[in-house]
Structure formats: C-alpha cells, structure tokens
Chain A
Amino acid sequence: TQLLEQSPQFLSIQEGENLTVYCNSSSVFSSLQWYRQEPGEGPVLLVTVVTGGEVKKLKRLTFQFGDARKDSSLHITAAQPGDTGLYLCAGSSGNTGKLIFGQGTTLQVKP
C-alpha cells in the first residue's frame, strides 16, 4: 500500500517567518501535487511536479520533488495570514489519475 507521510501535522507561526512542509514516501510516484484547503471548501491545486529534482516557484512558495520521486517539500517564505490553511500533498503512480493523499499539514499564520 502506498502511503504519503506529511510533517509537521500542525504549524503555528508568526507573520514573516519561513516554513517548510515535508511529504515522504517509500514509494515512487510519477507525479506529485500540492493542494491547499480552506475551511468549508474543497482542496485547490497549487502545483504539480513530475520530474525528479524539479523545483517550481509560485510567488513565495517553492516546491521541490525529490531526485528519486519519493518525497517532496513545500517552502513558504515570509508567511502571511492569508497562507493559513490545510496543505495536502498527493501522489500519482501509473496512468490511472488516481491520487494518494497525505494526512495534511495545518498551517496557522498569526498577524
């Protein structure tokens, strides 16, 4: 069974601080996605990474896919209260489009 473990589970920081969320697995994935979910809403895709070692930047967010395509990280620079939410990583293997989700990291950024 493929599993994705996210850490930390909870993170509470002050505005302006940097943070990194990790997503690890013993399985290889063909692609990995990061989603952000706000209360009362469904997850919204932030980024998809498909190549081992790939780094993608989205404003203050930097996403990295591990060389072996088993892990990923999300780094936020100078966090803002608007970044508060649940961050989910999700891996896809094969060509089914089926995703395995991590448990999520709840981020709270205090003003």
Chain B
Amino acid sequence: DARVTQTPRDKVTEMGQEVTMRCQPILGHNTVFWYRQTMMQGLELLAYFRNRAPLDDSGMPKDRFSAEMPDATLATLKIQPSEPRDSAVYFCASAMGHPVLDTQYFGPGTRLTVL
C-alpha cells in the first residue's frame, strides 16, 4: 500500500530554533508539493518540485523557509529561524505529474507548534 510518509508527525519548538520536516514521496511519483494548513488561511501551497527541480516557491517566505529534494526519495522543508506564526500543519503531497488529471496523494502531515 504505497503512501507518502512524513516525519516528524508532531514538533514543538521554541521561537528562533531551526525546524526540518521530511517527506518521502510515493515511489515513481515525480512531483512533490509542500502545503501549510491553518484554520485562518486553509491549505496553502508553499512550493513544489518536478523531477527534483523547484518549479514554484512563490508561496514560501524566502527569508526563513527553504525546500529541497536531495534525491527522488526525500523532500525537506526547513524553517530557520522559526516564529510562532509558523505554527501550522505542514503537508507533503506527491503526484505522477500528469498536467490536468493528476491525483495528489497527501501525507499525514507534520503538526508544528512554535512557542
């Protein structure tokens, strides 16, 4: 049963600390998305990659957020330094890369709390 995995599931940290979230996409999927979900803003796209290359990171605060795909089996989202307003659930999703009919498969999310 192929699924997207994310670690950690929960993270509590103090303001100013570095946070790294990891995602393992479904094997064979060439597109990876990072989303942030909050009650106020809903689900927002932060960045996405196709064939490991960043295609769009316009939704991401560039001064503190960075996203990378070191290899096809790992995507990372890093926040440095973290701030209380970054508290949210961060989802990773992967897809086959079909331009219109694609299905995005979401991971279970990382719940981040910045104190």
Contact = CB atoms under 8 A, between A and B. Distances in A.
B103 A98 contact: no
**In which size bucket is the chain A interface?**
20 to 34
B56 interface: yes
Given A98-B48, A102-B42, A45 B101 contact: no
A42 interface: yes
Interface string B89-101: 0010101011111
Contacts of A41: 106, 108-109
Contacts of B50: 97
A43 B102 CA distance: 14
Contact of A97 (B31, B42, B43): B31
**In which size bucket is the chain B interface?**
20 to 34
A73 interface: no
Interface stretch (A14-22, A53-61, A75-83, A88-96): A88-96
9 contacts: A43-B43, A44-B106, A97-B50, A97-B99, A97-B100, A98-B45, A98-B48, A101-B44, A102-B42
